Amino acid sequence: MQPWPYPKIVAHRGAGRLAPENTLAAIMHGHSLGQRMFEFDVKLSADGVAVLMHDAGLERTSNGSGLVGAHDWSVLSTLDAGSWYSPQYAGEPIPTLERVARWLLGRQLMANVEIKPSPGTEALTGAEVAEVCARLWHAATVPCLLSSFSETALHAARQAAPALPRALLMDRFTPDWLARCQALGCVAADWNAAVPGPALLRDAHAAGLRVLVYTVNDPRVARQLLAWGTDAIITDAVDQLRPGDFGPA
């Protein structure tokens, strides 16, 4: 298998549920708890700016409305992405991928960039996000890890930035999982926590693939998965599961 430079614990959407997801404030909070690698979702504005946002729509995690991909960055940059969570975070902006990357790189922290395309923009988002990541992480000792549920997006990311490592996100087991990962040149499979067991982990490792598991919030489940050989756990429980508790990456 290829070397695996990432920690065993990855903070989901910045600081899981302890701060407004996919914001720089969430990442900063996760860092204050000892987290060293952060998973976050990235999609494109209407004018092609890569921004952090999970949903296709703005309503759940901002004071905006409509589709993220229907608004230019000049509009998205004015929105409040913190008040929905608590008054403490009022005015927290939607961050760009570039802003977050520079903050992480300045502290030698790591990233799992989930490519989360707006519907109908899978190839464009995969290519654009990969190109931005390749530019920002070009001198980094540890590259960012790209992941996506969209195979179209990952294929486009591979074409745009073949040197960046990729992981295919899968929410259920399918017999062709290995062929799908290999077709995309992935270094890892990224499964829903309900899927992997010892045998599947052995199969993945035998094929040269690492395994990430999402979203694991019970420390007992996390420890069992790691004991079976899981390479990384993606968690909301960033205050309970910390990289230092599980040894070196």
Number of domains the chain contains: 1
Quote the CA–CA distance of 44 and 47 in Å, as a whole number: 8
* Closest C-alpha among 29, 91, 22, 16 to residue 51: 22
- pLDDT > 90: what percent of the chain? 95
75 belongs to a structural domain: no
Domain span at 144: 9-58+96-246
Rounded CA-CA distance 36/132 in Å is 21
pLDDT number for residue 246: 81
Q: Is 209 among the domain residues?
A: yes
Provide the pLDDT for residue 16. 81
Structure tokens at 242: 């910390």
Mean pLDDT of 98-124: 98
| Average of per-residue pLDDT values in the chain | 97
For the chain, what is the radius of gyration of the CA atoms?
Answer: 17
Residue 31 lies inside a defined structural domain of this protein: yes
CA dihedral sign of residues 35, 182, 198, 4: negative
**Assigned domain for 217 exists:** yes
- State the distance between the two ends of the chain, measured CA to CA, in whole angstroms: 15
Q: Is residue 78 part of a domain?
A: no
CA distance 68 to 17: 22
Task: Report in angstroms the alpha-carbon separations of 153 from 61, 96, 150, 167, 172.
Answer: 24, 19, 5, 11, 19
Q: Over 80: is that where the pLDDT of 184 sits?
A: yes
In a domain, 74, yes or no: no
Burial 45-60 (b: 16+ CB within 10 A, else e): bbeebbbbbbbebbee
The pair of structure tokens assigned to 106 is: 């300045």
Q: Among the options 29, 31, 54, 155, which is catalytic?
A: 54
Instruction: Judge whether 54 counts as a catalytic residue.
Output: yes
Which residue of the set 12, 29, 31, 155 is catalytic?
Answer: 12
> Residue 194 pLDDT > 60, yes or no?
yes
Rounded CA separation 106/89 (Å): 23
- Give a yes or no: residue 70 inside a domain: no
User: For residue 152, what is the domain's CATH number?
Assistant: 3.20.20.190
* Backbone φ and ψ of 119, nearest 5°: -55, 130
Mean pLDDT of 203-207: 98
For residue 82, being part of any structural domain is answered with: no
Quote the pTM value.
0.97
Is 71 an active-site residue? no
**Range 122-143 average pLDDT:** 98
- Here the tokens at position 199 are 């045998």
